[in-house]
Structure formats: structure tokens, C-alpha cells
Structure 1
Amino acid sequence: MRKRRILAAVAAALAVPLATALPAQSHGWISTPPSRAALCAAGTVADCGDIQWEPQSVEGPKGFPALGPADGTLCAGGNSRFAQLDDPRGGNWPATKVTEGQRLTFTWKFTARHATTSFRYFLTKPGYNAATKLTRSNLDTTPFLTVPYNGARPPSTLSHTATLPAGRSGHQLVLAVWEIADTGNAFYSCIDVTF
């Protein structure tokens, strides 16, 4: 009995530093218009793997577009656990219908409110082929919306409204990047739209 108590005490003592050394596993995602992660979490899209339980966890290196996840892994934030988000599914991801010049509101849900540098939104270039994985060469790497946040922490939900750029038609992809101020990471969210 005494040996069990000693083992339990040692296990508890080791668990505290280990738990504080590991990063939090909850963060944030775009819920509307539905991102790929939101579509998977809602069950609208099947065969999504772990992302269906963790839409908030698409975290990868910050510094996009100069740094960040490798081309072809942008929608998953470079995280192989969520590679299903990078699969173009033959261009058949459900897409939100939009029009050129439309004001579109993007709503984030947060499960951990990190100190934030900015939120940035990128759109694929005219002629984008939705049946291919997303790369920097597919994107206009100048964001169509940047929201500086100067180290503040967002509320549990936050919305940004932007005017969609002109010159697009058909299936396009928005890449939203939530850059964290006090870590080396950002959160990535891909939203399929159809003009």
C-alpha cells in the first residue's frame, strides 16, 4: 500500500511540470463562412481524420508568406495530423457562394485567447485550379485584409468584414492566418468560396 502511494505521488509530481511544458491544445478556427475545419467538425464533410474533433488546432509556424508551412500543407498549417484539409478532393469542397466586391464577414471562434499580432486574409489568384493543393504561387501573397491586434487577446468570438477582391470567378480559396504574438506559431484556416 505504501509503495502505491509513493508511486502515485511521484507520478503526480512529474505530471505538473510536464503539463506546464506542453503547449495548449485548443486555440481557434473560422466558423463562418465555414472553413474546411468547421465543415469537418460539423460532419458536413466526411473522412476528415482528427480535425473533426479539433477544428481549433490547425497551428503551424508563423511568418507567412515568407515563412510558415510548406506549400501544399497551408490549409493544415503544416500539421500532418490534419493533412485531410490540404486534400483538394477534386475541387469538391463545399463552397460559400460570393460575388465580386461583396462584403464578407469572417467569424473566428477561440478556445484559447492568445496574445495576437494580427489577422490576415489571402485569396487565390484568378485562374486558380481548385483540384490542386494550395501553394504560395496560387495565392495573391498580399492580403486583401489585415487586422493588426498589437498583442491584445481576442474575445471568445471575433468577426472581421472585408470587401472581396475583383477579377475572380469560379471556385477560389481564402487562407486566413491568425498570427500569435508570444509564440513562434500562427493558426491557419482555409475557406472555399465560389464566385
Structure 2
Amino acid sequence: MKLSRKAVAGIAGAVLAPIVVLVGPAGLASAHGYVNSPASRQAQCASGAVKNCGDIQYEPQSVEGPKGLKSCNGGVSRFAQLNDDSKGWKVTNIGKSAKFTWVFTARHRTTNYQYFIGNTKVGDFSGNNQAPVGDVTHTVNLNNYSGRQKVLAVWNIADTSNAFYACIDVNVG
């Protein structure tokens, strides 16, 4: 059976279309990350540890906003639940230093990673303008703090004007 050129082109298009969709623009949009250890607020929503989180439960890696913000939701209104301190976030007990681990669904070249309690920067780690090759863990000194704290972790991207944001509820002591 000999197929016409139109038939061959149609079959090729049908076979290639799903591949283009998977690796095309959606692939570019998935370059995200978040803190999963200790479990950030978005990690808690994604795992079901905290309920009624809205869209963030499906895309914990998507809390992306302009650099320089100090909000858990990165200025993204559909993730506003992350800013609600009364939501019942699980608190992780830690010592006077803590290891925070970022996971990535894709990688960006990185300026730095910053950690804040309130408006005070408690950690700053260079990304050396490189894309992370795997999960990234930082040890942050929290000697000046005790009790329940909210840590804001920020991944500042080198190749865009945005950053990724994650809040982690901890009990230092």
C-alpha cells in the first residue's frame, strides 16, 4: 500500500504534535523550584498535610514573582493562602542551624539563594551564575533566634528578573 504525500505528512504531524506540546513552551514554563525540606508551605499543600490550599497544591514549584519581595506567595494572588499565618501550617523543630533543601522541576542560572526572618537576612549563598545540577541544600545559622519563626527562602534567578519564594515554619531551639 502506497501512501500519498499528504497522508504521510498527516501521519507525521499526528505523531509529532504531542512531542512538540510536551517539550515546547510548556517545557520552558516549568523551570521552577521550591523548598521541600523542612517542608515549606507549598510542599505541605502538595503533600496534603495542609488542606484547602487552592491551586498551589498542584504546582508547588510555581511561586515566582519579581525579585525583592518579602511575601510567601511571591506576589501571585492565586497563591494568597501561603501568606495566611493562621492556616495551620506544620512547624518543624530544628536546632540553632537548619538545612534547607531546594528541589527543582527544571533549572535556571542562579544569582543567589537568600533566607530571611522578618526583614533580617539570615543567609545568603551564591549560585555562581550556574544552573543547579541537582537538589541544593544550605545550612543557615539561626543562633540569634528561638521559638516559632517563619523563614522566607528566596531563589534569585540570574537569567530573568524574577525569583522563586517559599516560606517554612520552624521552631528554633
TM-score by length of 1: 0.72
Task: State whether residues 144 and 165 of structure 1, in contact with CA within 8 Å, keep that contact through their aligned partners in structure 2.
Answer: no
C-alpha root-mean-square deviation of aligned residues, in Å?
A: 2.4
Task: State whether residues 116 and 180 of structure 1, in contact with CA within 8 Å, keep that contact through their aligned partners in structure 2.
Answer: yes
- 1:118 match: 112
CA apart distance, 1:21: 9.6
Task: State whether residues 111 and 156 of structure 1, in contact with CA within 8 Å, keep that contact through their aligned partners in structure 2.
Answer: no
Task: State whether residues 178 and 188 of structure 1, in contact with CA within 8 Å, keep that contact through their aligned partners in structure 2.
Answer: yes
CA apart distance, 1:23: 5.2
CA apart distance, 1:54: 0.5
Matched ranges for 1:1-195 at <5 A = 20=25, 24-62=29-67, 64=68, 68=69, 74-89=71-86, 92-99=88-95, 102-124=96-118, 139-140=119-120, 143-166=121-144, 168-195=145-172
Distance 1:97 1:21 in 2: 37
Identical pairs, percent: 50
Is the partner of 1:84 in helix, strand or coil?
A: helix
Q: Highest Rg: 1 or 2?
A: 2
Task: State whether residues 176 and 188 of structure 1, in contact with CA within 8 Å, keep that contact through their aligned partners in structure 2.
Answer: yes
Amino acid of the structure 2 residue aligned with 1:24: A
Is the partner of 1:192 in helix, strand or coil?
A: strand
Higher strand residue share: 2
Report runs of 4+ in structure 1 exceeding 6 Å deviation: none
Amino acid of the structure 2 residue aligned with 1:179: N
5+ long unaligned stretches in structure 1 = 125-138
Distance 2:132 2:26 in 1: 24
Task: State whether residues 177 and 187 of structure 1, in contact with CA within 8 Å, keep that contact through their aligned partners in structure 2.
Answer: yes
Distance 2:99 2:61 in 1: 19
- 1:129 match: none
